[in-house]
Amino acid sequence: MSQLSTYTCHTCGEIHHDWPALAFSSPLHYDNLNDQDKETIATLSSDFCTIEDGETVDRFIRCTLSQLVNDHCEDLQYGLWVSLSEKSFKDYKDNFNNENHEVTYFGWLCNNVPGYQSTLSIPTTVYTQTDNNRPLIVPHEDFDHPFVKDYYGGITKHEAEKRINEMIGLIND
């Protein structure tokens, strides 16, 4: 496989020389809805998503995760969605523009990360950040999943570039 040294951004169309963040524009739960349900029972913005299906309401927020790359000076960045409880979602939304709001929440990972079998429902701790930066998520270390093991043990540059190429291929399809 060739080294990934440049890529064309699907958002801005420009060529970049650093690694892109592997970002998901919505949680998988939203992606799995048909077009009519997306219009009638779901609400999606760049930072929040809700799906109201009868008595059930699912609540999601967009977060970041930084994956250690052991043999490289740059880490692999992810833009992922997690589901929160009603109480945590309300607190986060109520304080969304509060630059000094720092709390932690429990969340479930809600995207399938390339390179792994299902990564849905990995338990995470969500750390809000000052200056209105997106929250950071950290998977629970005691959860037995290859993604969690890689998070704590790191991955190789080759593996990071493989994931980037796979994700870029999904975007361009």
* pTM across the whole model: 0.85
What pLDDT sits at residue 8?
Answer: 55
Mean pLDDT, range 119-135, rounded to an integer: 94
pLDDT above 90 as % of the chain: 72
pLDDT tens column, 15-54: 545 688 899 999 999 999 999 999 999 999 999 999 999 8
- How far is the C-alpha of 160 from the C-alpha of 165, rounded, in Å? 9
The verdict on residue 12 lying in a domain is no
pLDDT tens column, 141-161: 999 999 999 999 999 999 998
The verdict on residue 150 lying in a domain is yes
Distance between alpha carbon 80 and the CA centroid of its chain, in Å?
1
The residue behind tokens 């060739």 is 2
The verdict on residue 112 lying in a domain is yes
The verdict on residue 172 lying in a domain is no
Residue range(s) defining the domain that contains residue 120: 21-156
The verdict on residue 2 lying in a domain is no
The verdict on residue 120 lying in a domain is yes
pLDDT above 70 as % of the chain: 87
The verdict on residue 28 lying in a domain is yes
Domain count, the chain: 1
CB proximity list for 143: less than 8 A, separation 6 or greater: 122, 123
The verdict on residue 50 lying in a domain is yes
pLDDT band (50, 70, 90) for residue 11: low
